[in-house]
Structure 1
Amino acid sequence: MPRPTGLPVVASTQSVPAPTLVLSSRLDERRQAALVALVGPGSGADRELDVRATGSALPPPTSYEAVLLDTATDALDPAWLVALLDHVSHGASLVVMVNRAAPSWPTELASIAVAAGPLTGQAEWFARLVSPTNPLTRRLGPPRPAGGDAAPELAVLDRLCPLEVGPAGEVLVSVSMAFSDRAVVVAGSLGAGRVVVSGLGNTAEALAHPDLATILRRSLAPPLTWGDRLATPRTLGLAVVGYGPYGGMGTYHATAAQVTDGLEFVATCDSNPDRRKAAEHDFPGVRAYTTVDELAADDDVEVVVVATPPVAHADIALRLLRAGKHVACEKPLCFTVAQADQLMVTARQHERVLTVNQNRRWDPDFLAIRRAVDRGLLGQLFNVETFVGGFEHPCRAWHSHTAVSGGAVYDWGSHHLDWALLLMGGMPATVVAHGHKRVWHDVTNLDQVRVHLTWPDGREAEFLQSDVAAVRRPKFWVQGTAGTMVGWYRPLSVERVEPVRGHVVERFHHAEAPADLTLARYESGYGTTETRLPPSPAQPFAFHANLANHLLAGEPLAVTPESARRVVAVLEAAQRSCEDGGSAVSLRPMDES
């Protein structure tokens, strides 16, 4: 029996909503930039944005599908405000950013929330998602511990205005203030429309908080169109092709689906009967298929993760896209740009989503580096170097055989070169790669490969992977015009004493723990200072949460097929350069797409 699906899942092509009006009485340069980043081009809202200062001439409210008031209502023309509230009651969305009590607060808004105090000083507030299953706050905040029921909390730096909740209001977010919970984001209905009153978001830093920004962006979604997808609970059936048990990627994706709101692990496909049995044992009730065609015929399956060895990625993904399934592929997406282009065209033709599990984008050490770069702590980057490896026998699974894995650069290079492209921006002009085959002759991958990228403006990046490096280099070496960041590996081991066996040491892969990060900066007239940077908070299964948010709520896809194609373009060029003795390979301008 096909599972009930309710409203259609967001496809890769969407109609463009009517414009959004942002009306502000505090429109300095920083705040305007923060508001545009919140709901403007590039935010994923995919709508035209009209930003105006209070006091300017305003078109009729009916010109807009959503309105964000970043001003007290007593600063507005009373007739225009009446028309706005009437427009909202007929299906538009309204977000009101509150920074002070308004003496003439409309009764329609007072039934939802009113300001209950003056604006506080700037401080770190722990914002609690009181209604984590509400459509506006679903799948936000850090994941709850297994079996835990505590509401997720967000650390937000802001000046806030506490709210008093009206009879028609539902508290979405509260903060602890003077040992009591105070509402700061409240939602309610006004006729057929939605109103959200927020006492958070009074600083540019707060508006940049990813979870608060998502709440406000969702609040501007038109309730009567694609916003209804938020209000209708949906669960997407997820399947995995290639079930690697014992902590492998099949187990990983299945577990992620089970703990991610909006996803459910319903089926797997593997030609190995032992692995099918393992899936059925690990996840009772899951359906286990032998062939991709059998899986594709299951109407309960809407999203498929392709977790086979890389040589099969492109073919399986194409078959699933043509069968009407959304596809999330393990890295690398494929081996060649031609394959990537065919996959992207097929996804567009069938209006299906195509993405890649570039899960290392959420590594705590990499996120800390991006945070430092985004805050300008390194100045303008001009060199990024990364390393992975040691001196030990390569694994004897398919990862070490070129015909199956694509070659040494396609494994860890899929992550490290993705990092380099994200940090540097744009595409390099040339790729040069050199490899060595000197020690491990029972596998076909190179023992060591070095990939050097050069951008048109002279900036450069380098990735080194080696199974013959007896002394490890830093994981990260990032240079900018204001400083340098270095990240050192810290291999983990656990020692214990067991009965009979005695002393036991359990060692983990050196890349599993976040690197120790040090930022060195030069100060004129003073010298060089060093600062230890902690890793960013872990975000387990962030890829899967984003996938659910994109398919169910139309939010931006974190790993677009275009970004995955850029990685493939560099990988293919590196492989070609290496096979040609290290000759330079130029990337075509179209590889920017």
Structure 2
Amino acid sequence: MESKRVWKSAVIGYGGAYNMGKEHASQMMKAGFEFAAVCDLDIARAEQAGQDFPGIRTFTDVAELLAQDDLDLITVITPHNTHADLAKRILESGKHCIVEKPMCIRVEDADALVRLAEQKQLMLSVYHNRRWDGWFLTLQDLIRKGVLGDIFHVEMFFGSYQRPRDWWRSDKRLSGGAFYDWGAHYIDWLLRTVPGPVRSVRGYVQNRIWHESTNEDHIDCILSFENGAFAHVQQSSIARLGKAARRFLGTKGAVLDNGEGHLTLQTEENGVQIESKIPYMPSQTMAYYSNIADHLMNGADLEVKPEQTRRVIAVLETTGTSAAAGQELPVPFE
């Protein structure tokens, strides 16, 4: 009887922020991968990975990691400006690739990666694990059931009044800008909720308070869709007052979400306005890597496809170019 194939995985980047290297490794193992190797430029971090996962191989040179013929899957967990080059090198080495969000900074790099993965017949995906957050699963369930009708207006807000931390994520050259962190999740949620192509984006950027940081202080991204829907996504580090985190207006109902464990739903029945609180469905923290394993090992459909994630990058990048140009712009290759 033929023994079951062992799929081996690795990560590039085991940095201390949020313990993301350890988290990815743990999820890989739970999904059925053998976690085999880590590469980090920091010798101390590579050694820490070896202590966390005894028996793995550790490297401080990406080329040495990529030369390991028995590795099947490598996840990139590094500053945003390195994603495109590292993903390219992984695919060229013949290995499947996952990139932490955002996929990259420029849409031209995203398109090149999509083409390369197709040419190499390798899997390329981005860690948009937040698609399985409880609030979003609950919203999608309501939409599937037709409770909201057609979504025609969306508002999203994230931020506060807070000085940015002194780290690479506050450096626009490395991060791509403030919108490229949580903004990647918000735009992914939006594009999964409103169907069809984006017609245009109008970006507005303000730099008023935190001049020691090269990231933007305040960003407004206004999107119009081909189907007539409209969305406003706002991020701020200078908002002394916040507002609802998420609001979705549909032709049959509307939803408000403030991260309080439930969605507030407004609908109408027999001419009577009804308000109800819909508890979040449980978040599925292992869903992303479970799907990756099912895709690679069993041929299941890939949930987070690279073509979807390059749309996110196109919106993020166009927000900045639109702000610089002072006008509404089409989204590249939408």
Q: Distance in 2 between matches of 1:286 and 1:442?
A: 40
Residue of 262, 273, 280 corresponding to 1:516: 262
Q: 4+ runs of 1 displaced by more than 4 Å?
A: none
The answer for the alignment partner of 1:463 in structure 2 is 233
Residue 525, structure 1, aligned to residue 271, structure 2:
yes
Q: Distance in 2 between matches of 1:541 and 1:245?
A: 21
> How many Å apart are 1:371 and its aligned residue?
0.6
CA deviations over 1:278-315 (Å, ceiling 9, x no partner)? 11111111111111110011123110001111100000
The answer for the alignment partner of 2:62 in structure 1 is 292
Residue of 28, 35, 38 corresponding to 1:257: 28
Q: Distance in 2 between matches of 1:384 and 1:424?
A: 9
Residue 585, structure 1, aligned to residue 302, structure 2:
no
What 5-or-longer segments of structure 2 have no aligned partner? none
Contact kept in structure 1, 2:205 and 2:320, CA below 8 Å: no
Q: Which has the larger helix fraction?
A: 2
Mark the structure with the bigger radius of gyration: 1
Aligned Cα root-mean-square deviation (Å): 1.4
Residue of 156, 162, 168 corresponding to 1:398: 168
Q: Distance in 2 between matches of 1:525 and 1:312?
A: 55
The answer for the alignment partner of 2:128 in structure 1 is 358
Q: Distance in 1 between matches of 2:41 and 2:271?
A: 67
Contact kept in structure 2, 1:314 and 1:339, CA below 8 Å: yes
The answer for the alignment partner of 1:244 in structure 2 is 15
Q: Distance in 1 between matches of 2:197 and 2:183?
A: 16
CA deviations over 1:325-349 (Å, ceiling 9, x no partner)? 1000111111222111111111122
Residue of 297, 315, 320 corresponding to 1:570: 315
- The one-letter code matched in structure 2 to 1:585 is L
Contact kept in structure 1, 2:140 and 2:193, CA below 8 Å: yes
> How many Å apart are 1:524 and its aligned residue?
4.5
Q: Distance in 1 between matches of 2:71 and 2:205?
A: 42
- The one-letter code matched in structure 1 to 2:275 is E
- The one-letter code matched in structure 2 to 1:252 is E
Q: Distance in 1 between matches of 2:136 and 2:42?
A: 36
Residue 233, structure 1, aligned to residue 13, structure 2:
no
Contact kept in structure 1, 2:201 and 2:222, CA below 8 Å: yes
Q: Distance in 2 between matches of 1:391 and 1:522?
A: 37
Q: Distance in 2 between matches of 1:455 and 1:260?
A: 37
What 5-or-longer segments of structure 1 have no aligned partner? 1-5, 7-231, 491-514
- The one-letter code matched in structure 1 to 2:242 is R
Q: Distance in 2 between matches of 1:521 and 1:411?
A: 34
Change (3 A) 1:247 1:586: closer
- SS of alignment partner, residue 307 of structure 2: helix
Residue of 83, 91, 100 corresponding to 1:330: 100
Determine what percentage of the aligned residue pairs are the same residue: 38
The answer for the alignment partner of 2:283 in structure 1 is 538
Q: Distance in 1 between matches of 2:255 and 2:271?
A: 21
- SS of alignment partner, residue 102 of structure 2: coil
> How many Å apart are 1:489 and its aligned residue?
3.2
Change (3 A) 1:426 1:457: closer
- The one-letter code matched in structure 2 to 1:587 is V
- SS of alignment partner, residue 248 of structure 1: helix
Residue of 187, 212, 219 corresponding to 1:417: 187
> How many Å apart are 1:246 and its aligned residue?
6.3
- SS of alignment partner, residue 586 of structure 1: coil
TM-score (norm 2): 0.96
Q: Distance in 2 between matches of 1:233 and 1:539?
A: 27
The answer for the alignment partner of 1:155 in structure 2 is none
Contact kept in structure 1, 2:244 and 2:258, CA below 8 Å: yes
